[in-house]
Amino acid sequence: MSLPQKVTVSEVGPRDGLQIEKTMLPAADKLRLIEALADAGLTRIEATGFVHPKVIPQFADASEVAEALPRRPSVRYAAFIPNRRGAERAVAAGVDDLKCGVAASDTFNRLNVRMDTATGMRSLEEIAEVAAGTPSRVVGVVATAFGCPYEGAVRFEEVDRLFTHLVGLGTDLIYLADTTGMADPSAVKDRVTRLAERHPDTRVGLHLHNTRGLGLANALAGLECGVTDFEGSIGGLGGCPFAPRAVGNICTEDFVHMCHRMGIETGLDLDRLLDAARLAQDLLGRNLPGMVLKAGPADALHDPEGTREKVD
Ligand code: ZN
């Protein structure tokens, strides 16, 4: 088993996380959370989505948030972009990374961005055209890469076809998204290994959800086959409005905690990530599913005198 020495964590809580939350955070609160995430050392933060406010009302303030992002030389900000109009708005607002993708399932793609997969692919070409010659770059995503709740199994050949198309648009990093938590460690190893062999010049990233409790197991499978780009959401917040009963992404600080325990560098400050997770809880007024948030890091010592409550 050879593990990478260092991984890059991309935080998607302010976008993938907040889009499903019932509480609509004002832009100022979103920006506070984003600043806390940058303070923890995150250098990749997906801050918003340039989608029509009728589809996802939580991002009606996308331009306002993007224009007020706390700019730091080391941090690249991303936004989810479904079409040309979204790309134009994001480029105008100075977004660094245009996250755009297509679902390997037609039905899911229609629900998610109101286009079938073929139309979605044409839309990606338009987004790449808008980005060309600007400082913004395209980062690709193949959604429902491990299965679709409406169509069931997704063939590897279909994932590879979309992946290949994204490679052709000039993106050097493409995330496989387990949008609705249908992956398992064997499937992760199989798809990642085959794609990496077929596309040696493109990094295969993983965007995992913990829908069925397999999030970190799937992330470990990715680490074991050399993946160095992972997405997570702070506190494990989120879900997907078009995925029945989906839960959030893998929890950023739980993944970081695991990496640090295994000697894998992330460049992140776990304590400050936990501060950001607590801030997200306060802003949303609910407990988030993150486990380290509840239990504390494994190396935190407890006062034996202070542990008087019954443990069952
Ligand atoms: Zn997601």
> How far, in Å, from the CA of 298 to the mean position of ligand 1?
27
177 C-alpha to center of ligand 1: Å? 7
Candidate from 3-7, 238-242, 274-278 with smallest mean pLDDT: 238-242
pLDDT band of residue 305 (cuts 50, 70, 90) is confident
Question: Residue 243 pLDDT > 60, yes or no?
Answer: no
Whether 240 is catalytic? yes
Distances, alpha carbon 312 to alpha carbons 236, 256, 296, 302, 309, in Å: 25, 27, 18, 17, 10
Name the catalytic one among 100, 225, 240, 259.
240
Q: Per residue in 264-282, pLDDT tens?
A: 999 999 999 999 999 999 9
Q: Which domains can be identified in the chain, with CATH numbers?
A: 8-295 (3.20.20.70)
Kindly state the tokens that stand for 293: 């948030």
User: Would residue 67 be called left, alpha or beta, if left means φ above 0 and alpha means ψ between -120 and 50 degrees?
Assistant: alpha
Q: How many CA atoms lie within 13 A of 120 on its CB side?
A: 27
- Dihedral (C-alpha) 304, 305, 306, 312: value to the nearest 10 degrees? 60
> 311 C-alpha to center of ligand 1: Å?
35
Mean pLDDT over the full length of the chain: 92
Q: What's the pLDDT band for 62 if we cut at 50, 70, 90?
A: very high
Residue among 152, 20, 159, 168 nearest 80 (CA): 20
